Amino acid sequence: MPRPAAPPARRAAALGAALLAGPLAACTGGGGEPGDDTPTVALLLADDARPHWQARTVPAFEAQLSRACPECRLVTHVADGDAAVQADQLAEAVEDGADAVVLAPTSATAGAELVASADEVPVVALDGALPGAAHVVTTDGAAVGRQQAAAVVAALGGARDARRARVLLLDGADSGAEQARRSALRQALRRAGVRPVDAAGLTDQGAAAAAEAVRAAGGAGAVDAVVAASDVQAGGAREALGARRVPVVGAGADLDAVRRLVTGAQAATVWSDDRALGSRAAAVAGALAAGLEPRPRPGTEVVAGVPTDVVAPRPVTLDEVARLLVRRGVVSVEEVCDADTRAACERAGLV
């Protein structure tokens, strides 16, 4: 089967997206030029809208790949949420001789199509299972959803007070993990007697769109709480709600979200060790690029015939910031306790 080639104009757009995406789009690794015998790994990211991935997942991926495959060349592309651009980026990577692809797709549907077009280049699916992938490394989206539901019920005062509460839901990009999260979240809320309210007209996963969705839903007077797919969206929701005491729950443990936990502006987040996500994906991709069978690790399961590593999430409220995040090096006290949050950090016993 011939390797797919992208139309010139769209290939230029894809290359531009990679070059304009900043440090995530850099070529790193052991050097070498396309077409030589240097093993090459292509990391294809849907977007750069998840600060915790930029801060922790990608650096962990790069560090682990340099250990697992020192001779490997790494090429990273960011699609800015555009499925067509990501398709062109994959075609370019395959045409240039990529030996393994790590794919965080713009959507589960688009991702399945990309795996099918990869021309026998092994694909590691990142953040959700994809049919035909050689390996899956993902967060446990369903567990994230259940933990978010439990966190918002607790923030509303417990099961009795939460019954019949209106909780606005801000969904994320349509990855496999996100599909599992939103389904489990809704099921858990309904079991608790909470009334989930879907955000209308949510155009993207940014903070501004989240803020507009909250305003369109009627704001603090119309909803009792907000659960967001990401901490970026949680920040936008908080901005729209102002100082009103409406609990907001997110996911990702972004630095700004941790600061909001400390100040009380956010009730909870859910943290999956994004460093483990990046490290495991790199170890698998490095082995595949070198023509080796990835070593299974404790916890690796075969799901639908595909080796799968799942990173378990942990709920985080103010009480867990020091124990779960600071102690494990996810964030530092110096990062969290800046000039704006110093007094709140002192009250919380962080400094």
C-alpha span between 186 and 235 (Å, rounded)? 21
pLDDT reading at 305 higher than 60: yes
Instruction: Give yes or no for residue 12 having a pLDDT over 50.
Output: no
- Which SS3 state, helix, strand or coil, does residue 33 take? coil
CA distance 106 to 46: 5
* Cα→Cα distances 200→197, 209, 308, Å: 9, 11, 34
What is the average pLDDT value for the chain, to the nearest integer?
89
Given a contact cutoff of 8 angstroms between Cβ atoms, the answer to whether 67 and 285 are in contact is no
pLDDT-derived band at 36, boundaries 50, 70, 90 = low
Most confident of 34-48, 204-218, 327-341: 327-341
Helix (H) or strand (E) holding 162: helix 159-162
Whether the CB-CB separation of 177 and 138 falls below 8 Å is answered with: yes
| Residue % of the chain over a pLDDT of 70 | 89
Burial of residue 26 (CB within 10 Å: 0-12, 13-18, 19+) is middle
CA atoms 64, 69, 75, 81: torsion sign: negative
The sheet with strand 40-45 has its strands ordered as 27-29, 73-78, 40-45, 100-103, 123-126, 135-139, 306-311, 301-303
Cβ-count burial 300-324 (b if 16+ within 10 Å, e if not): beeeeebbbbbbebbbbbbebbeeb
pLDDT of residue 244: 85
**pLDDT category, 31, cuts 50, 70, 90?**
very low
The stretch 222-231 carries a mean pLDDT of 96
DSSP states along 285-332: HHHHHTT-PPPP-TT-EEETTEEEEEEPEEEE-GGGIIIIIITTTSS-
pLDDT exceeds 60 at position 20: no
**DSSP code at position 225:** E
* 259-295 pLDDT, tens digit each: 999 999 999 999 999 999 999 999 999 999 999 999 8
- The phi and psi torsions of 69 (rounded to 5 degrees) equal -145, 80
Distance, CA of 130 to CA of 109 (rounded, Å): 9
Nearest to 183 by CA among 153, 224, 148: 148
Flag the least confident range among 13-27, 95-109, 176-190: 13-27
Give the model confidence (pLDDT) of 49-62 as tens digits.
889 999 999 999 99
For range 3-11, the mean pLDDT: 38
What is the Cα–Cα distance from 138 to 60, expressed in whole angstroms?
15
- Span 2-31, average pLDDT: 38
SS3 78: strand
How far, CA to CA in Å, does 290 sit from each of 6, 65, 118, 133, 189?
26, 11, 17, 17, 46
What is the pLDDT, as a whole number, of residue 3? 40
Q: Which residues on adjacent β-strands are paired with residue 311?
A: 139
- Banded model confidence at residue 33, pLDDT cuts 50, 70, 90: low
At residue 50, the pLDDT reads: 87
Q: 60-74, 143-157, 293-307 — which is least confidently predicted?
A: 293-307
Mean pLDDT throughout 122-146? 96
Q: Is residue 282 helix, strand or coil?
A: helix
List domains and CATH numbers for the chain.
Answer: 8-139+274-312 (3.40.50.2300), 141-272+314-348 (3.40.50.2300)
The sheet carrying 248-249 orders its strands as 195-198, 166-170, 225-228, 248-249
pLDDT tens readout for residues 85-128: 999 999 999 999 999 999 999 999 999 999 999 989 999 999 99
Burial class of residue 64 (count of CB atoms within 10 Å of its CB; 0-12, 13-18, 19+)? buried
- Res 193: pLDDT: 94
Stronger pLDDT, 69 or 24, i.e. the higher one: 69
Instruction: Check whether 6 has a pLDDT greater than 70.
Output: no
For residue 1, the 8-state DSSP code is -
Looking at residue 257, its pLDDT comes to: 98
Please name the residues in contact with 315: beta carbons below 8 A apart, sequence gap of 6 or more.
Answer: 147, 148, 150, 151, 268, 269, 270, 271
Q: List all residues 6 or more positions away from 238 whose beta carbon is below 8 Å from its beta carbon.
A: 248, 260, 265, 266
| pLDDT 10s digits, 200-217 | 767 778 999 999 999 999
